[in-house]
Amino acid sequence: MTPPAHPPILRVDSAGLPIAWISWQRAAELICTDRVLWSTGESNVTVLGGVRNGERSRLVIDPVIATRDMHRDPSGKVPPLSNRLLFARDRHTCLYCGSRYSESRLTRDHIVPRCQGGPDTWTNVATACIRCNSDLKGGRTPEQAGLKLIALPFAPNTAEALILANRRILADQNAYLSRMVPDREDRWQ
Ligand SMILES: [Zn+2]
């Protein structure tokens, strides 16, 4: 029997700082090997195990679990840049014309172009549609091309990147992570 598809479980360290999304199978393994310190959230997952003495064992997994890990210093740790996270950061909106597109029609624009020495980093990249990136901007800065960014680029922190990466995030998990995310509303100009 194939196990039901459960949403990912949020794993946090002993200080409550987020580490990663893990599968319920991995979460079950951590619980059974006594690596879990505490867990939280109401929308838990119940996993049925084998039958012993006529009774089926069951394991309840909360949506957020803290394991016995000391966190590596999270300050200055920037999640790796990927198009998927970048487009999610910018709400699938071209930061030049303001139109929304599906992932396949979006590109990673380097605000200061690579050919002018611009780095491939979170604060130098913007989501752009093909037309704005290739036809209108090309190898120029927005100023050189007469374009204006409608939102400021930023580097997400770990909690933010985890929210952006998970499309099946549960309300409990979102609430847990959102406390660690700065208000970004003022980036939209
Ligand atoms: Zn555009």
Residue 28 and residue 61 in one domain: yes
If you measure from the C-alpha of residue 105 to the centroid of ligand 1, how many angstroms do you get, rounded to a whole number?
10
Pick left, alpha or beta for residue 91 (phi over 0 → left; psi -120 to 50 → alpha; otherwise beta): left
Q: How many domains are contained in the chain?
A: 2
Q: State in Å: Cα 106 to ligand 1 middle.
A: 9
pLDDT digits (tens, 9 = 90+) for 26-37: 999 999 999 999
Partners of 64 in the β-ladder: 10, 40
Residue 101 CA to ligand 1 centre (angstroms): 9
Residues 95 and 50 in one domain: no
Instruction: Categorize the per-residue pLDDT at 74 as very low, low, confident or very high, splitting at 50, 70 and 90.
Output: low
71 and 13 share one domain = yes
Measured in Å, residue 180 CA sits from the centre of ligand 1 at: 31
Question: Residue written as tokens 């006594």?
Answer: 34
Q: Does position 4 have pLDDT exceeding 80, yes or no?
A: no
Contact assessment for residue 156 and residue 85, using Cβ atoms and an 8 Å cutoff: yes
Q: How far is it, in rounded angstroms, from Cα 66 to Cα 69?
A: 8
The residue range of the domain holding 127 is 83-145
Alpha-carbon distance of 159 to 108, in angstroms, equals 22
| Radius of gyration in angstroms for the set of CA atoms belonging to the chain, rounded to a whole number | 21
Any domain includes 154 = no
| HSE, side-chain direction, 13 A CA sphere, residue 91 | 12
In the reported structure, the alpha carbon of residue 151 is separated from the centroid of ligand 1 by a whole-number distance in angstroms of 13
CATH code, domain with 121? 1.10.30.50
